[in-house]
Amino acid sequence: MTGNQFHLGIDVGGTFTDAVLIDGDTGRIETAKVPSTPADPSIGFMAALERALEQSGADPRDIAHLVHGTTVATNSLIEGKTPKTAFVTTEGFGDMLEIARQVRPSLYDIHFEKLRPLVPRDLCYEVPERLDARGGVLKPLDEDAVREISDALRTRDVRSVAVCLLHGYANPAHEERVAEILREEDPDLLISLSSTVCPEFREYFRASTCVINACIIPVVGRYLAGIEAGLSRAGVGAELLVMQSNGGVLTAPQAASKPVFMVESGPAAGVVSANFIAGRLGHTDLISFDMGGTTAKAGLILDGRPRVTKEYEVGAQAQPGQGMTRAAGYPIRTPVIDLVEVGAGGGSLAWVDPGGGLRVGPRSAGADPGPMCYGKGGTEPTITDANLVLGRLNPDYFLGGEMALDLDAAAAGIRERCAKPLGLDLTAAAHGIIEIANATMINALRLVTVRRGNDPRDLTMVAFGGAGPLHANRLCEEMRIPALIVPPSPGTASALGLLVTDLRHEFSRTRLMSAEAADLGGVRALFETMEEEGRRTLRHEGAAHEQVEFRRGIELRYVGQSSEVAVTCPGEGLDAGALADAVRRFHLEHERAYGHGYPEQPVELVNFTVTAIGRIPRPRLQRIGSNGTSVEDARTDTRRVFFPDAGGFVETAIYDRVRLRPGHVVVGPAVIEEVDSTTVVQPGYRAAVDDFGHLLIAARRPG
């Protein structure tokens, strides 16, 4: 098959590493799934690459486009595996990371403990200098003090430094001079500047973002260098691109210098994939539902664009049934696709708490040892074990038969750990595990829809991940979501998302001004400066002039508020009329999000943003043809599957998804099996197959 151009996406998850290889000439897709290797994720990466090449018969030299999604940045923070990092700030502000915010995630929780600062107090250094809020110099930088700090860093064997000086967003000169002096003293020192990483006001948030970047630069740099070395040994010459948290990609050198932009790399790819899949079918208002082995994630897409937020935290522990709570982690002020994540994946553990309540998650069995039914040493039951006991999974066809599941081990684990302590039989305990997991995921869906002013009855769900299609139909039924799309190979759909996005860079500046007395000339100049910065970055990454696009945005708030609402603004020619329209849309968006707006109140402009996009050609995907078979030809067996609404175990038709063709309709209750996932069609529902092989699941009409 040499001579073809292939597009390869590899997504490293907590349990499995997935690869999608698309033939650029024919659109044919090859998928591969291998166990993740948490001790060294690059091993799983290379194993997935080799598996995809072996299955397709492709030559490594024919890979023209390679994109990677990874959680290595997030994991290093959560696990506390970051190298020694220092923090340099303005004199008098050395306690900034310790003080953090005077808010609590749970107001009445007397046992709550803040996360320890990523940089201990004895590695926080103060330098005499001071700027005012407009960037004017109130006190010159004491350069001798910076050199003394450099000596201290060398003594403490610090290799990475975060520099965040007061009002550095308004004038980066002092931060840049600090970096120059530190590099003069130690050229190998890794330095992160807040004026480069996050040039916005709010000192603690800017400092936290910069510190996180500094902490993970060495980790991500080594990881990406190892990946690139492995690719070179394998004969892959394509440039490595990395998925960002905002749904775009950037080159490996850019990712290595600003890794804070890729903390949600893997989950973001899933939302991009959902948007691409549903967009081909004409759906623009969506819920992305991704349930893997460790977590379940829900994201919102409106008007064909994923919702993006800057209110994100890393390192917080998920609360049962609540997802991530605010003010419990380290805040990051970079654009992140707005996701609600809960500890309810296939490997999430089921347990009985001291009060005698059945609980599920957030702890996970992960990839090693995994669920009890994997037979790899797991000793606690999981959601996957419960699905197996209820007949929803085929023990002989997991991963296409590559891995046999041990039904007896799963049953014994649930019986001993859950059923007996609660006085339940095996079926009731397994069903309880599934219902609790579903309740947790329903809460996540409500957080991303109803609680943000969106009616789920107006949306379409796209479900993927290895475990997503097992639960999605039931979730749609509970949430009254009218339509469900399950793409082919849902277990590797996130890896597909890596291949259907573009180069993307975000730029922002803080300039506080009244909307009524805005300096339009200054705003236009600010936008043009950021666009030129984006143009240079994309040109360096190889994007041609005609492939470059810019999107401008303004973050506004009512005078006296402490948070902003983002709206788009014209790409060029910003005038009084365009600004008035942006203010009008701010009032509407504020009312939609919070239930109230105040058009009579004064508004101020806070942050100005530019998204620089370098278009990357999308691979052409293949339609599947009809071969004249009937849906009964795809039926392989029947199996007793538990459906509570049908009264318990029901003899259920089992279908092979590979044999389903366009026009086939599967009537529930039914189970549709494929190599990397299993789809459950609930009683009262039907699944129709479209020209691309998607399953379109909706309630059957009466009669």
Q: What is the pLDDT of residues 664-675, one digit of tens each?
A: 999 989 999 998
Report which DSSP code applies to 266: H
And the tokens for 91? 């004199």
Mean pLDDT lowest among 83-97, 350-364, 423-437: 350-364
Quick check: 245 and 276 in contact, CB under 8 A? Answer: no
Quick check: 437 and 316 in contact, CB under 8 A? Answer: no
The average pLDDT across 511-533 equals 93
Judged against a pLDDT cut of 90, whether residue 364 lies above it is answered with no
The half-sphere exposure of 505 on its side-chain side, counting CA atoms within 13 A, is: 26
Secondary element (H or E) of residue 141: none
Which is nearest to 552 in space by CA: 577, 580, 576, 526? 526
Which is nearest to 413 in space by CA: 433, 437, 393, 439? 433
d(CA 480, CA 478): 6
d(CA 331, CA 74): 13
Identify the pLDDT of residue 316.
61
Quick check: 242 and 70 in contact, CB under 8 A? Answer: yes
- CB burial of 197-235 (b: ≥16 within 10 Å; e: otherwise) equals bbbbbbbbbbbbbbbbbbbbbbbbbebbebbbeebeeee
Residues 394, 399, 400, 401, Cα dihedral to 10°? -70
Confidence of residue 651 (pLDDT cuts 50, 70, 90): very high
Identify the pLDDT of residue 618.
78
The overall average pLDDT reported for the chain is 90
Judged against a pLDDT cut of 60, whether residue 616 lies above it is answered with yes
Identify the pLDDT of residue 617.
80
Q: Which amino acid is located at 576 in the chain?
A: A
Judged against a pLDDT cut of 70, whether residue 703 lies above it is answered with no
* Ramachandran class of 285: left when φ > 0, alpha when ψ lies in -120 to 50, beta otherwise: beta
Tens digit of pLDDT for each residue in 285-304? 999 999 988 889 999 999 99
CATH fold for domain 503-614: Dna Ligase; domain 1 (3.30.1490)
Q: What is the pTM of this model?
A: 0.87
Beta bridge partners of 514: 604
Which is nearest to 371 in space by CA: 400, 341, 393, 401? 393
d(CA 265, CA 252): 13
CA 136 to chain centre: 39
Identify the pLDDT of residue 322.
47
d(CA 414, CA 146): 60
Tens digit of pLDDT for each residue in 391-434? 999 998 877 677 789 999 999 999 999 999 999 999 999 999 99
The half-sphere exposure of 371 on its side-chain side, counting CA atoms within 13 A, is: 35
Report which DSSP code applies to 416: I
And the tokens for 301? 């897409």
Judged against a pLDDT cut of 90, whether residue 5 lies above it is answered with no
Identify the pLDDT of residue 323.
46
Q: Give me the residue spans of the domains in the chain.
A: 6-77+221-262, 82-206, 503-614, 635-699
Confidence of residue 29 (pLDDT cuts 50, 70, 90): confident
Which is nearest to 332 in space by CA: 269, 270, 268, 259? 259
SS3 content of the chain, % helix, strand, coil (to 5): 35, 30, 35
> Which of the pair, 630 or 572, is modelled with greater confidence?
630
Identify the pLDDT of residue 218.
93
Q: CB-based contacts of 562: which residues, under 8 Å, 6+ apart?
A: none
d(CA 276, CA 619): 12
Judged against a pLDDT cut of 70, whether residue 317 lies above it is answered with no
Please compute Rg for the chain using Cα positions: 26
Judged against a pLDDT cut of 60, whether residue 320 lies above it is answered with no
And the tokens for 591? 């009312």
The average pLDDT across 545-572 equals 90
Confidence of residue 613 (pLDDT cuts 50, 70, 90): very high
- CB burial of 357-386 (b: ≥16 within 10 Å; e: otherwise) equals ebbbbbbbbbbeebbbbbeeebebbbbbbb
Identify the pLDDT of residue 452.
81
Q: CB-based contacts of 121: which residues, under 8 Å, 6+ apart?
A: 94, 95, 97, 98
DSSP string, 478-542: HHT--EEEE-SSGGGHHHHHTTS--EEEEEEEEEEEESTT--HHHHHHHHHHHHHHHHHHHHHTT
CA distances from 653 to 389, 396, 583, 638, 673 (A): 17, 16, 56, 4, 11
Which CATH code for domain 6-77+221-262?
3.30.420.40
And the tokens for 256? 């290595």
Mean pLDDT lowest among 87-101, 356-370, 533-547, 655-669: 356-370
